Amino acid sequence: MRVRVWRRRAVRLALPVVAAAVVWSPVAAAGPPAAGLPVVPGDDGQPTQPFIVGGSDTSTDEHPWMVALTDAAASPYCGGALVGPDRVVTAAHCVANRDQAELTVIAGRTDMRTSEGVETGVRQVWVHPGFDGDPMGGDDVAVLTLEREPGYRTLPLNEDPSAYQPGTPATVLGWGYTDESGPSSPVLQEVDVPLQSDSDCSGTYSQYDASEMVCAGDPEGERDACYGDSGGPLVVDGRLIGVTSWGTGCARPGLPGVYVRISSYADDLQAQLS
Protein backbone atom coordinates (compact mmCIF):
# COMPACT_ATOMS: atom_id res chain seq x y z
CA MET A 1 0.00 0.00 0.00
CA ARG A 2 1.41 3.38 -0.92
CA VAL A 3 1.55 6.41 1.32
CA ARG A 4 1.03 9.77 -0.30
CA VAL A 5 2.24 13.22 0.62
CA TRP A 6 0.41 15.67 -1.59
CA ARG A 7 2.58 18.34 -3.10
CA ARG A 8 4.28 19.02 -6.44
CA ARG A 9 7.84 18.96 -7.79
CA ALA A 10 10.46 18.62 -5.08
CA VAL A 11 10.10 15.38 -3.22
CA ARG A 12 11.28 14.25 0.17
CA LEU A 13 11.16 10.80 1.68
CA ALA A 14 9.14 10.11 4.78
CA LEU A 15 9.40 6.93 6.81
CA PRO A 16 7.33 3.99 5.62
CA VAL A 17 4.44 3.07 7.90
CA VAL A 18 2.13 0.17 8.47
CA ALA A 19 -0.40 1.74 6.16
CA ALA A 20 1.74 3.53 3.61
CA ALA A 21 0.75 7.13 3.16
CA VAL A 22 1.27 9.85 0.60
CA VAL A 23 1.73 13.55 1.14
CA TRP A 24 -0.49 15.69 -1.07
CA SER A 25 1.25 18.40 -3.03
CA PRO A 26 1.01 19.59 -6.62
CA VAL A 27 3.13 17.65 -9.05
CA ALA A 28 4.41 18.51 -12.49
CA ALA A 29 1.64 18.04 -14.99
CA ALA A 30 3.00 14.92 -16.59
CA GLY A 31 5.82 13.79 -14.39
CA PRO A 32 6.60 12.34 -11.00
CA PRO A 33 5.41 13.93 -7.77
CA ALA A 34 6.25 17.61 -7.63
CA ALA A 35 7.89 19.55 -4.90
CA GLY A 36 5.64 20.74 -2.15
CA LEU A 37 4.97 17.58 -0.33
CA PRO A 38 7.07 14.67 0.67
CA VAL A 39 6.57 11.40 -1.10
CA VAL A 40 6.55 8.20 0.86
CA PRO A 41 7.46 4.86 -0.72
CA GLY A 42 4.80 2.19 -0.63
CA ASP A 43 5.36 -1.50 -0.14
CA ASP A 44 5.89 -1.79 -3.90
CA GLY A 45 8.75 0.72 -3.68
CA GLN A 46 6.93 3.34 -5.74
CA PRO A 47 6.18 6.84 -4.43
CA THR A 48 2.63 8.08 -4.12
CA GLN A 49 1.11 11.55 -3.84
CA PRO A 50 -2.32 13.32 -3.81
CA PHE A 51 -4.51 15.62 -6.00
CA ILE A 52 -8.22 16.32 -6.51
CA VAL A 53 -10.04 13.21 -7.76
CA GLY A 54 -13.73 13.22 -8.68
CA GLY A 55 -13.97 16.99 -8.52
CA SER A 56 -15.08 19.71 -10.89
CA ASP A 57 -13.77 22.99 -12.23
CA THR A 58 -14.15 25.97 -9.95
CA SER A 59 -12.58 29.42 -9.82
CA THR A 60 -10.75 31.87 -7.61
CA ASP A 61 -13.79 34.12 -8.05
CA GLU A 62 -15.66 31.53 -5.98
CA HIS A 63 -12.69 30.94 -3.67
CA PRO A 64 -10.64 34.19 -3.67
CA TRP A 65 -8.50 33.04 -0.74
CA MET A 66 -7.14 30.02 -2.65
CA VAL A 67 -3.47 30.34 -3.60
CA ALA A 68 -0.79 28.26 -5.29
CA LEU A 69 2.84 27.93 -4.21
CA THR A 70 5.42 27.83 -6.99
CA ASP A 71 9.14 27.08 -7.03
CA ALA A 72 12.16 28.54 -8.81
CA ALA A 73 10.97 26.97 -12.07
CA ALA A 74 7.60 28.73 -11.65
CA SER A 75 5.88 25.35 -11.32
CA PRO A 76 2.95 25.10 -8.87
CA TYR A 77 3.64 22.36 -6.33
CA CYS A 78 1.38 23.03 -3.33
CA GLY A 79 -1.69 24.97 -2.33
CA GLY A 80 -2.51 27.31 0.51
CA ALA A 81 -5.16 29.63 1.91
CA LEU A 82 -4.97 33.39 2.37
CA VAL A 83 -5.99 33.88 6.01
CA GLY A 84 -4.78 37.45 6.48
CA PRO A 85 -4.05 40.35 4.13
CA ASP A 86 -0.49 39.09 3.69
CA ARG A 87 -0.55 35.68 5.44
CA VAL A 88 -0.99 32.20 3.95
CA VAL A 89 -1.55 28.93 5.81
CA THR A 90 -0.11 25.86 4.11
CA ALA A 91 1.45 22.50 5.03
CA ALA A 92 4.84 22.53 6.73
CA HIS A 93 6.10 19.81 4.38
CA CYS A 94 5.49 22.20 1.47
CA VAL A 95 7.99 24.79 2.71
CA ALA A 96 10.30 23.25 5.31
CA ASN A 97 13.92 23.12 4.15
CA ARG A 98 13.12 25.07 0.99
CA ASP A 99 14.87 28.25 -0.13
CA GLN A 100 12.55 31.09 0.83
CA ALA A 101 13.92 33.21 -2.00
CA GLU A 102 12.62 30.68 -4.54
CA LEU A 103 9.06 30.68 -3.22
CA THR A 104 6.30 32.55 -5.01
CA VAL A 105 2.64 32.68 -4.05
CA ILE A 106 0.03 33.14 -6.77
CA ALA A 107 -3.43 34.47 -5.88
CA GLY A 108 -6.42 35.05 -8.12
CA ARG A 109 -5.33 32.62 -10.85
CA THR A 110 -7.93 29.98 -11.69
CA ASP A 111 -6.06 28.58 -14.71
CA MET A 112 -2.32 28.09 -14.30
CA ARG A 113 -1.85 28.43 -18.06
CA THR A 114 -2.68 32.14 -17.78
CA SER A 115 -0.97 35.11 -16.16
CA GLU A 116 -4.03 36.40 -14.34
CA GLY A 117 -3.97 37.31 -10.68
CA VAL A 118 -1.15 38.46 -8.43
CA GLU A 119 2.28 36.95 -7.85
CA THR A 120 4.28 37.81 -4.75
CA GLY A 121 7.41 36.63 -3.03
CA VAL A 122 7.59 35.38 0.54
CA ARG A 123 9.12 37.59 3.23
CA GLN A 124 9.01 35.12 6.10
CA VAL A 125 8.28 31.43 6.68
CA TRP A 126 7.03 30.08 10.00
CA VAL A 127 7.02 26.30 10.34
CA HIS A 128 5.45 24.75 13.42
CA PRO A 129 8.35 23.95 15.79
CA GLY A 130 6.99 20.45 16.36
CA PHE A 131 7.23 19.46 12.69
CA ASP A 132 9.98 16.86 12.24
CA GLY A 133 9.91 16.59 8.44
CA ASP A 134 7.39 13.73 8.35
CA PRO A 135 3.75 14.82 7.80
CA MET A 136 2.58 11.63 9.46
CA GLY A 137 4.37 12.75 12.60
CA GLY A 138 1.99 15.71 12.93
CA ASP A 139 2.35 19.49 13.29
CA ASP A 140 2.31 19.74 9.48
CA VAL A 141 1.36 23.41 9.36
CA ALA A 142 3.14 26.60 8.31
CA VAL A 143 2.42 30.30 7.82
CA LEU A 144 3.90 32.42 5.04
CA THR A 145 4.22 36.19 5.33
CA LEU A 146 4.03 37.67 1.85
CA GLU A 147 6.10 40.53 0.46
CA ARG A 148 2.90 42.33 -0.53
CA GLU A 149 -0.83 41.99 0.01
CA PRO A 150 -2.57 40.28 -2.94
CA GLY A 151 -5.78 42.16 -2.18
CA TYR A 152 -8.17 39.18 -2.12
CA ARG A 153 -10.76 38.16 0.46
CA THR A 154 -9.36 36.00 3.25
CA LEU A 155 -10.60 32.71 4.73
CA PRO A 156 -11.37 32.71 8.48
CA LEU A 157 -9.68 30.11 10.68
CA ASN A 158 -11.91 27.61 12.44
CA GLU A 159 -11.39 27.68 16.20
CA ASP A 160 -14.40 25.51 17.11
CA PRO A 161 -13.50 21.90 18.05
CA SER A 162 -17.13 20.87 17.49
CA ALA A 163 -16.89 21.61 13.76
CA TYR A 164 -15.48 18.14 13.04
CA GLN A 165 -18.62 16.03 13.29
CA PRO A 166 -18.48 12.80 11.23
CA GLY A 167 -20.48 13.07 8.04
CA THR A 168 -20.09 16.85 7.75
CA PRO A 169 -19.47 17.73 4.09
CA ALA A 170 -16.17 19.55 3.57
CA THR A 171 -14.67 21.05 0.43
CA VAL A 172 -11.07 20.44 -0.62
CA LEU A 173 -9.42 22.36 -3.47
CA GLY A 174 -6.27 22.20 -5.56
CA TRP A 175 -4.51 22.00 -8.90
CA GLY A 176 -3.18 18.49 -8.30
CA TYR A 177 -3.74 15.20 -10.09
CA THR A 178 -7.24 14.26 -11.14
CA ASP A 179 -6.41 10.56 -11.09
CA GLU A 180 -3.78 8.56 -9.24
CA SER A 181 -1.85 8.12 -12.48
CA GLY A 182 -2.16 11.80 -13.46
CA PRO A 183 -2.25 14.29 -14.97
CA SER A 184 -2.60 17.36 -12.78
CA SER A 185 -5.22 19.97 -13.60
CA PRO A 186 -4.24 23.45 -14.84
CA VAL A 187 -7.68 24.65 -13.69
CA LEU A 188 -8.57 24.87 -10.00
CA GLN A 189 -10.62 21.87 -8.84
CA GLU A 190 -12.96 21.39 -5.90
CA VAL A 191 -14.64 18.34 -4.44
CA ASP A 192 -16.84 17.71 -1.41
CA VAL A 193 -15.80 14.92 0.95
CA PRO A 194 -17.44 13.86 4.23
CA LEU A 195 -15.50 14.09 7.48
CA GLN A 196 -14.80 10.68 9.00
CA SER A 197 -14.89 9.65 12.65
CA ASP A 198 -11.67 9.61 14.65
CA SER A 199 -12.25 5.95 15.51
CA ASP A 200 -12.48 5.01 11.84
CA CYS A 201 -9.39 7.04 10.99
CA SER A 202 -7.40 5.54 13.86
CA GLY A 203 -8.44 2.09 12.72
CA THR A 204 -7.23 2.83 9.20
CA TYR A 205 -3.96 4.61 10.00
CA SER A 206 -1.78 3.77 13.00
CA GLN A 207 -0.15 7.21 12.64
CA TYR A 208 -3.44 9.08 12.96
CA ASP A 209 -3.55 11.46 15.94
CA ALA A 210 -7.05 12.80 16.60
CA SER A 211 -5.67 15.64 18.72
CA GLU A 212 -4.12 17.30 15.66
CA MET A 213 -5.46 15.53 12.57
CA VAL A 214 -8.82 15.00 10.89
CA CYS A 215 -9.59 12.70 8.00
CA ALA A 216 -12.11 13.04 5.21
CA GLY A 217 -13.00 11.09 2.12
CA ASP A 218 -15.59 9.19 0.17
CA PRO A 219 -15.89 5.66 1.66
CA GLU A 220 -16.45 4.36 -1.87
CA GLY A 221 -13.26 6.00 -3.10
CA GLU A 222 -14.85 8.30 -5.66
CA ARG A 223 -13.56 11.63 -4.32
CA ASP A 224 -10.30 12.69 -2.71
CA ALA A 225 -7.29 14.98 -2.72
CA CYS A 226 -4.19 13.76 -4.53
CA TYR A 227 -0.67 14.59 -5.75
CA GLY A 228 -0.05 18.32 -5.84
CA ASP A 229 -2.90 19.22 -3.49
CA SER A 230 -0.78 19.34 -0.32
CA GLY A 231 -1.10 22.49 1.72
CA GLY A 232 -4.49 23.32 0.25
CA PRO A 233 -7.55 24.11 2.38
CA LEU A 234 -10.30 21.89 3.74
CA VAL A 235 -13.33 24.15 4.17
CA VAL A 236 -16.61 23.85 6.09
CA ASP A 237 -19.18 26.66 6.29
CA GLY A 238 -16.76 29.25 4.96
CA ARG A 239 -13.98 28.47 7.44
CA LEU A 240 -10.59 26.79 7.18
CA ILE A 241 -10.92 23.60 9.22
CA GLY A 242 -8.02 21.62 7.74
CA VAL A 243 -4.87 21.63 5.61
CA THR A 244 -4.24 18.84 3.11
CA SER A 245 -1.43 16.72 4.56
CA TRP A 246 -1.14 13.00 3.73
CA GLY A 247 -2.97 9.83 2.81
CA THR A 248 -2.70 6.49 1.00
CA GLY A 249 -2.96 6.54 -2.77
CA CYS A 250 -5.75 8.68 -4.19
CA ALA A 251 -9.48 8.03 -3.86
CA ARG A 252 -9.00 4.45 -2.73
CA PRO A 253 -12.04 2.87 -1.03
CA GLY A 254 -11.77 2.95 2.74
CA LEU A 255 -8.62 5.10 2.73
CA PRO A 256 -9.52 8.72 3.50
CA GLY A 257 -7.18 11.67 3.24
CA VAL A 258 -5.63 13.11 6.38
CA TYR A 259 -5.64 16.85 7.13
CA VAL A 260 -4.23 19.13 9.81
CA ARG A 261 -6.94 19.89 12.40
CA ILE A 262 -6.88 23.70 12.38
CA SER A 263 -8.77 24.18 15.66
CA SER A 264 -5.89 22.46 17.47
CA TYR A 265 -3.49 25.10 16.16
CA ALA A 266 -5.73 28.16 16.44
CA ASP A 267 -3.61 29.89 19.09
CA ASP A 268 -0.34 29.22 17.24
CA LEU A 269 -1.78 30.47 13.97
CA GLN A 270 -3.42 33.55 15.45
CA ALA A 271 -0.08 34.47 16.98
CA GLN A 272 1.44 34.43 13.49
CA LEU A 273 -1.34 36.66 12.14
CA SER A 274 -0.82 39.43 14.68
List the CATH number of the domain containing 130. Answer: 2.40.10.10
First-residue to last-residue Cα distance in the chain: 42
User: What pLDDT sits at residue 224?
Assistant: 59
Strands (E) across 185-274 are located at 189-194, 213-216, 233-236, 239-247, 257-261
Q: Cα(79)–Cα(259) distance, rounded to whole angstroms?
A: 13
Percent of the chain with pLDDT over 90: 61
Q: Say what the pTM is.
A: 0.82
pLDDT at residue 10 is higher than 70: no
Catalytic residue from among 25, 75, 230, 264: 230
Confidence of residue 53 (pLDDT cuts 50, 70, 90): low
Tell me the per-residue pLDDT of 115-158, one tens digit each, with 9 for 90 and over.
Answer: 999 999 999 999 999 999 999 999 999 999 999 999 999 999 99
The pLDDT-based confidence of 180 (bands split at 50, 70, 90) is low
pLDDT for 36: 37
Known catalytic residue at 63: no
**Cα dihedral angle (58, 62, 66, 72), rounded to 10 degrees?**
60
Q: Catalytic annotation on 140?
A: yes
Q: Please identify which of the residues 140, 198, 218, 224 carries the catalytic annotation.
A: 140
Please tell me the total count of domains within the chain: 1
Cβ atoms of 144 and 95 closer than 8 Å: yes
Angle, alpha carbons 234-82-156 (nearest 5°): 65
Instruction: Give the strand pairing for 47-48 and 239-247.
Output: unpaired
Write out pLDDT tens, residues 78-96.
Answer: 999 999 999 999 999 999 9
Tell me whether residue 230 is one of the annotated catalytic residues.
Answer: yes
Q: For residue 97, what are the domain limits?
A: 1-274
Mean pLDDT confidence for 32-61: 50
Instruction: Confirm if 229 and 174 have CB atoms less than 8 A apart.
Output: yes
The one catalytic residue among 75, 93, 134, 198: 93
